[in-house]
Amino acid sequence: MRALITGIGGFVGRHLLHHLQSEGDDVSGLGRPADCVGMPPSVRVFLTDLSDRATVERVVGETQPEAIYHFAAQSSPAESLAHPWATIGNNLLGQVNLFEALLGAGIRPRVLVIGSSGEKRCSLQRVQVNQRERCRS
C-alpha cells in the first residue's frame, strides 16, 4: 500500500514508518527538516510544512497515497493554551491544505487524523468508563 505520513519525523511518525515498512508498504512522508534527520534512505521524505499548500498538492500528486496518517500538528496542550491562535492556524490550515490537495488530485485515500490526548478530559470518578461518559473540554 502507498502510505503518506505527515509529521513523519515525530515520535509517532517514526514508529509508524518502521511498522508500515515491516508490512511491506511503500511509505512517503512530510516533515520539517529539523525533525527528519536520520530518516532511512528507503523512505521518500518531503521536507516541508503543511502550510505550504502548493508543495502539499505536489506531494499528494506525486505519491498518490492510498492511506494517509496525519500526525503533523502542534499537539502540546501547554503550547496551545499559551498560543491558541497560532495553534489553530497551524493545525487547521495544515489539515485543510491536505484535504484540499486530495480533492484537487481526485483521490480518496483512507485518512487517519490523530489528535492530542489533551483534547478531551473525561470525568473518571468511577473506575469503569463507557461510551456514554460525558466529556468536557
- Give the model confidence (pLDDT) of 41-79 as tens digits: 999 999 998 999 999 999 999 999 999 999 998 878 888
Region of residue 85 (left: phi > 0; alpha: psi -120 to 50; beta: else): alpha
Q: Can you give the pTM of this predicted structure?
A: 0.83
- 126 Cα distance to chain centroid: 33
Task: Look at residue 14 and tell me whether its pLDDT is greater than 80.
Answer: yes
| Number of domains the chain contains | 1
Is residue 61 within 8 A of residue 105, CB to CB? The reply is yes
Domain CATH number, residue 121? 3.40.50.720
Question: Could you list the residue range(s) of the whole structural domain that residue 69 is in?
Answer: 2-136
> What's residue 126's pLDDT?
47
CB within 8 Å of 107: residues ≥ 6 apart: 60, 64, 65
- Mean pLDDT of the chain, nearest integer: 87
In degrees and rounded to multiples of 5, residue 77 shows phi and psi of -60, -40
> What's residue 73's pLDDT?
86
